[in-house]
Structure 1
Amino acid sequence: MANDSDLKVNIDLLVESESRLRKLKKEFNNLEARNDDIREHWGSSGITDAMDEFVDNWDDYRKALLENIDVVGKLVKATIDGFTGLDAELAKQLRKGKKK
C-alpha cells in the first residue's frame, strides 16, 4: 500500500537543507563591512567612492538575503514538523487499527 502513495517527502533532504540554511545564515551574519580595513589599499578617491558604494549596497543586499534565508528556513522547519507529526499520527492510527 505504501507504494501507492501520491506524496513522497524526503525528510532527510529537508533536515539537511535546514541545517545548510542555518550555516549560511550564520556565515552571512558574521560578514561585516571591511571597507575601513582596506580603504588605504584602494588608491584614488574615485575608486574609494565606488568601493564605498559597493560595500553599502552589499550590506543592504546581505540584510535582505538574511531575511529571505530566515523565511525559507522557517518554512522548511514547519514542513519537517508537519510531515513528521503527520507520519507519527498515521503510524499511531495504523497501530490502533491492527489491534482491533
Structure 2
Amino acid sequence: MIKEMGAGLGRVRKAFEGLEKLGGKYGDDFGHRGLADRFEDFADSWEINRKKLAEEVEVLAEIAKTAAKAYEEIDHQLAEAIRNARDPKSARKGK
C-alpha cells in the first residue's frame, strides 16, 4: 500500500507540473479590469504555490517509496528468520 501511495504521489506531482499557466490568458474575458487584475494576482500566486506543492509532493513520494522498500526488506528478513526457526537444519545449510 505504501509503494502504491508513492507511485500515486508521483502521478500527482506530474499532474501539477502539467497544468497550464493561468496568467495572461483570460484578462479580456472578465470584462472588468479590476476583476482581471485580481485573477492575475491569483494566477501568479497559484503558479508559485503549485510549484512548491509539486516539490513537496515529490519529497513525500520518495519517502513513501523508501519506506516501502525498507518494509519489504524487513518482511523478507522476518520470513527467513521464521523459516529458519521452524527448520534449524535449513539455516545450517544456508551458512
TM-score w.r.t. structure 1 length? 0.76
RMSD value over aligned CA atoms?
1.6
SS of 2:59's partner is: helix
Q: Deviations over 1:25-80 (max 9, x none)?
A: 11101012133332220222211211110000001110111111011111111110
Provide the rounded CA distance (Å) in 2 between the counterparts of 1:43 and 1:17.
43
Determine whether 1:14 maps to 2:2.
yes
Pairing partner for 2:30 from 27, 32, 42:
42
Paired position in structure 2 for 1:72: 60
* Percent of aligned pairs sharing the same letter: 26
Aligned length: 88
Structure 2: which 5+ residue stretches go unaligned? 90-95
Aligned-pair CA distance for 1:93: 2.9
Q: Distance in 2 between matches of 1:60 and 1:49?
A: 17
Larger RCO (CA within 8 A; separation ≥ 6): 1
Instruction: Give the letter for the 2:55 counterpart.
Output: E
Larger Rg: 2
Q: Amino acid of the residue matched to residue 32 of structure 2? A: S
- Aligned amino acid, residue 11 of structure 2: K
Tell me if structure 1 keeps the 8 A contact 2:27–2:37.
Answer: no
User: Is residue 53 from structure 1 mapped to residue 54 from structure 2 by the alignment?
Assistant: no
Runs of 4+ in 1 over 6 A off after TM superposition: none
Structure-2 separation of matches of 1:35 and 1:71 = 27
Match of 2:82 in 1: 94
